[in-house]
Amino acid sequence: MPQESAIEVSNLTKYYGDLCAVDHINFEVEKGEIFGFLGPNGAGKTTTIRMLTGISMPTEGTATIMGCNIQRHPIEAKEQMGIVPDVSNVYNELSAWDNLIFTGKLYDMSKMGRESRADELLKMFGLYERRKEKVQGFSRGMKRRICIAMALMNRSGILFLDEPTSGLDVQSVLIIRDLIRKLNHNGLTIFLTTHNIDEASQMCDRVAIINQGKIVAIDTPEKLKRTLESLQSIEVAFEAAPPNASKELEKLPEVSEVLKEGDKLRLFTRDVPTVLDSLWKYSQYNNLKLITVNTVGPSLEDVFVKLTGIKPATAEGESGKSGPSKVQEMVHGRKKQ
Amino acid sequence: MMNKHSSHYGREIRVAWAIAVKDMRTYYTKPPSLMFGILFPFSLFLSFSIGTKAPPAEQIPILISQTVFFASSSIGPVVIPTERANQTFDRFLTSPVSLFSILIGKTLAGIIYGVGISAIPVLVGIVFFGSQLVDLAALSVCFLLSSLAFSALGIMFASIPGQTPGQVMMPLNFVRIPLLFISGVYTPIRDLPILMQAVSMLSPLTHTVELARYASGGETFFGPILNITILAIYAAAFLFMGVHFHIMNQRKE
């Protein structure tokens, strides 16, 4: 008997007037999986998550959560999920304890059930000692932890996380990532929306890349990277590189592009051995001393840029809340060449 | 099946109550609630009472009507835009509870605020100005129906997409303030021209003022049965329209 999917999305579409924000997308998330949902700003990520969690109604198509259709049986579907939005929507006027207890009441948990769960979660998140304090005095990272704890109150099977580590300090990011892994290890299905491609690459079993409302790729991070062989590269640094090294190296056979990255040069190629051989000859011929040679496979970031076709103009227009993303920085870097 | 339904309704009521209690704890003492729910009606009343020769005991029903009107209708417009701005309203929308129950919870918070604030002039009138309370049942019905109708009015206006209370309060005050002048608050209905009397009958506030006067032993122009009927119709209509408008909003999301 085939295993039931945790999330099943079929032809999901959302129009705002004439604008198609999400265009007939289809995907499945298996139980127990960490599923990453990537895309540039305005690609349709948040609209999709809002439809999956019942905040917004699709124009067309269906979404089922643990077998419950979110449109036809919203109560049953919502019982199966916990949601952490991109903003920590906690009640600042209430204490950490009261925030969790109120969430328990929204899920109609028994008094004993919600108190013991709140106790357990506050201890798990390292906030038990501060449970009686109003949340308004908490740091951003602590509020984020409270928000995640609230999403876990009802012991749901699926956790939706929208940019869970965005804008947090390194320590909070590490705590939250570790926690997500532990929760997943205990069987929780995670739907993770993120701008952070490294995070998706490190954490997700599979990722979907959405662009202009359409899914452009769904696969494991490694398989996605392998599909773009043309993005293999060799990173090289000379002890004293001649000023025209970029131009010279671009003329080597099988080199498609050369980028200067700090004191290093990055040679893109489909044929790494041939280029390595040429590179060695080039350095010998010009009497250059190689101090670094690394072969680099395409990163998920490369795949993302390739598939979404992000251009510098777009990146500038979408500098976002917290400054340019890594993708944008990389694209800007390329432009400088 | 019966048990399933009864447990479903029981759950909706419990969640609605939890939302109401949370709103009471969180928003009753917020500056916009205090300003529009308490300061505003008391200030209006004071500016009116300074220029009138009517004894204080006769003025108490007016104060009761104004407080129940302003206090009840202010909670929705404070709570909902603030929760939209903080994205805490989304928390309700993603919880396993119907939008109707969410709005009932918000309406309940308005009802309790309105009744609580309006009880103050009743007590002050009885203790300090010798006001009479001749019909407790009429006063109770006045409080319950009026606070329900006005709280639902506030919830209905809170469907206006906005992220600050001011964005909802402003259009709401375009309705609330004119109602004061056609509802027999400052001018007795019997002294109004016939056309204005007909207009006055259409105002829910008229019937609150009349019931409050009736409960204090005063006379009513339209009679308590008509007062109660019209208030009940308004309460149901505002509630229905409020839920409908919020559903429309969710469809646009």
pLDDT higher at A224 or A216: A216
Does residue B153 surpass a pLDDT of 50? yes
Average pLDDT over residues A244-255: 86
Query: How many residues are recorded in chain A?
Result: 337
Structure confidence at residue A333 (pLDDT):
32
- Judged by CB atoms closer than 8 Å, whether chains meet at A106 and B18 is answered as yes
Class of domain A229-297: alpha beta
pLDDT at residue B110, as a whole number: 96
Which is nearest to B111 in space by CA: B164, B80, B154, B174?
B154
How crowded is residue B87: how many other Cβ atoms within 10 Å of its Cβ? 16
Q: Is the pLDDT at B163 greater than 90, yes or no?
A: no
Q: Residue B192 is encoded by which pair of tokens? A: 């109004």
Higher pLDDT, A146 or A268: A146
Average pLDDT over residues A244-250: 86
Backbone angles phi, psi at A50, to 5 degrees: -70, -35
Tell me the chain A residues in contact with residue B250 when contact means C-beta distances shorter than 8 Å: 55-57
Asked if residue A336 has pLDDT above 70, the reply is no
pLDDT, residue A262, reads 86
Averaged confidence pLDDT in chain A? 84
Among A89, A94, A106, the residue with its CB nearest the CB of B15 is A106
Q: Taking CB atoms and an 8 Å limit, are B26 and A54 in contact across chains?
A: no
List the single residue in B92, B96, B250 with the smallest CB-CB distance to A57: B250
Tokens describing residue A299: 């990163």
**Which chain A positions have a beta carbon within 8 Å of B90's beta carbon?**
55, 85, 89
Give me the amino acid identity at A168: L
- The better pLDDT of the pair A3, A175 is held by A175
Which pLDDT value is given to residue A230? Answer: 64
CB contact under 8 A, A94 and B251: no
Residues of chain A with CATH 3.40.50.300: 5-221
Residue B38 — very low, low, confident or very high, per pLDDT cuts 50/70/90?
A: confident
pLDDT of residue A3: 55
Is the pLDDT score of A268 beyond 60?
yes
State both tokens at A3: 């295993």
Provide the pLDDT for residue A152: 93
Closest residue on chain A to B253 (Cα): A56
For residue A76, give both structure tokens: 């049953």
Beta pairing partners, A161: A84, A192
Q: Do B250 and A89 touch (CB under 8 A)?
A: no
Q: Give the model's confidence band at B3: pLDDT under 50 very low, under 70 low, under 90 confident, else very high.
A: low
What count of residues does chain B have? 253
3-state secondary structure of B144: helix
Cβ contact (<8 Å) for A89 and B91? yes
Joined tokens for residue B88: 């805490």
Structure confidence by residue, pLDDT tens digits, A58-78: 999 999 999 999 999 999 999
- Across the interface, whether the CB atoms of B97 and A106 are under 8 A apart is answered yes
- pLDDT tens track for A218-240: 988 888 777 766 678 888 998 88
Cα–Cα distance for residue pair B65/B96, rounded to 1 Å: 37
- In chain A, where does the domain assigned CATH 3.30.70 lie? 229-297
The answer to whether the Cβ–Cβ distance between B250 and A56 falls below 8 Å is: yes
Distance CA A66, CA B95 (A): 16
Extract the tokens encoding A88. 């920590």
Span B150-168, mean pLDDT? Answer: 93
| Cβ–Cβ under 8 Å, residues A191 and A7 | yes
DSSP character at residue B216: T
DSSP state of B164: S
Give the whole-angstrom CA distance, residue B234 versus residue B147. 11
pLDDT of A41: 81
Percent pLDDT > 90 in chain B is: 55
Question: Which residues of chain B lie closer than 8 angstroms to A91, CB-CB?
Answer: 22, 26, 88
Task: Using CB atoms, pick whichever of B18, B92, B253 lies closest to residue A56.
Answer: B253
Strands A81-84 and A34-38: unpaired
Q: What local confidence, expressed as pLDDT, does residue A318 receive?
A: 39
* pLDDT: which is higher, A315 or B177: B177
Q: B93 in contact with A at a CB cutoff of 8 Å?
A: yes
* Strand partners for A160: A83, A191
CA–CA gap between residue B58 and residue B125 (Å, rounded): 9
The reply to whether residue B14 touches residue A56, judged by beta carbons under 8 angstroms, is: no
pLDDT tens profile B80-123: 999 999 999 999 999 999 999 999 999 999 999 999 999 888 88
Predicted local confidence at residue A33, as pLDDT: 94
Lowest mean pLDDT among A207-211, A284-288, A300-304: A300-304
Q: Does B250 touch chain A (CB under 8 A)?
A: yes
SS3 B229: helix
Q: What is the pLDDT of residue B132?
A: 79
Q: What's the confidence (pLDDT) of residue B49?
A: 77
Q: What average pLDDT does this structure show over B145-169?
A: 94
Query: If you average pLDDT over every residue of chain B, what do you get?
Result: 89
| Phi/psi at A277 (5° precision) | -65, -45
* A74: Cα separation from own chain's centroid: 26
Task: Pick the more confident residue, A20 or A240.
Answer: A20
> Do A85 and B90 lie within an 8 Å CB cutoff?
yes
Residue B46, pLDDT score: 82
Q: Give the tens place of pLDDT for each residue, A25-49.
A: 999 999 999 999 988 888 888 899 9
Residues forming a β-bridge with A7: A29, A65
Q: How many Cβ pairs closer than 8 A exist between chain A and B?
A: 66
Six token digits for residue A330:
């990389």
Residues B83, B161: contact at Cβ < 8 Å?
Answer: no
ipTM above 0.90, yes or no: no
Q: What percent of chain A has pLDDT over 90?
A: 43
Q: What is the reported pLDDT for A13?
A: 95
What's the whole-number mean pLDDT along residues A289-305? Answer: 80
Task: Check if CATH label 3.90.226.10 holds for domain A5-221.
Answer: no
Where would I find the beta strands (DSSP E) of B97-157?
A: none
State the pLDDT confidence band at A310, using cuts at 50, 70 and 90.
low
Q: Is the pLDDT of residue A330 over 80?
A: no
DSSP assigned state of B163: S
Please state the rounded mean pLDDT for residues A197-220.
88
Please tell me the distance from the alpha carbon of residue A83 to that of residue A100, in angstroms, as a whole number.
Answer: 13
Question: B110: which strand partners?
Answer: none
Q: Is the pLDDT of residue A329 over 80?
A: no
Return the HEC string of chain A: CCCCEEEEEEEEEEEECCEEEEEEEEEEEECCCEEEEECCCCCCHHHHHHHHCCCCCCCEEEEEECCEECCCCHHHHHHCEEEECCCCCCCCCCEHHHHHHHHHHHCCCCHHHHHHHHHHHHHHCCCHHHCCCEHHHCCHHHHHHHHHHHHHCCCCCEEEEECCCCCCCHHHHHHHHHHHHHHHHCCCEEEEEECCHHHHHHHCCEEEEEECCEEEEEECHHHHHHCCHHHEEEEEEECCCCCCHHHHHHCCCCEEEEEEECCEEEEEECCHHHHHHHHHHHHHHCCCCEEEEEEECCCHHHHHHHHHCCCHHHHHHCCCCCCCCHHHHHHHHHHHC
DSSP B40: H
Distances (CA, A) of A258 to A6, A252, A262, A267, B71: 44, 10, 13, 5, 69
> Does residue A1 have a pLDDT over 70?
no
Check whether B221 has a pLDDT greater than 90. no
pLDDT in tens, A150-173: 999 999 999 999 988 887 888 888
A269 CB-side CA count, 13 A: 24
Q: Provide the Cα torsion B239, B242, B244, B246; round to 10°.
A: -140
Q: Residues B170-191: what's their mean pLDDT?
A: 87
Distance from CA of A321 to the nearest CA of B (A): 16
pLDDT score, position A88: 87
A92 contacts in B (CB within 8 Å)? 86
Q: Give CA–CA dist A300/B147, Å, rounded.
A: 58
Residue A335 has pLDDT above 50, yes or no: no
Q: What is the average pLDDT across B198-212?
A: 93
Write down the pLDDT at residue A327: 35
Q: Do B86 and A89 touch (CB under 8 A)?
A: yes
Model confidence band, residue A303 (pLDDT cutoffs 50, 70, 90):
confident
Per-residue pLDDT, A23: 92
Confidence grade of residue B41 (pLDDT, cut at 50, 70, 90): confident
Task: Decide: helix, strand or coil at residue B215.
Answer: helix
Closest CA of chain A from B252, distance in Å: 7
> In this predicted model, which residue has the larger pLDDT, B128 or A322?
B128
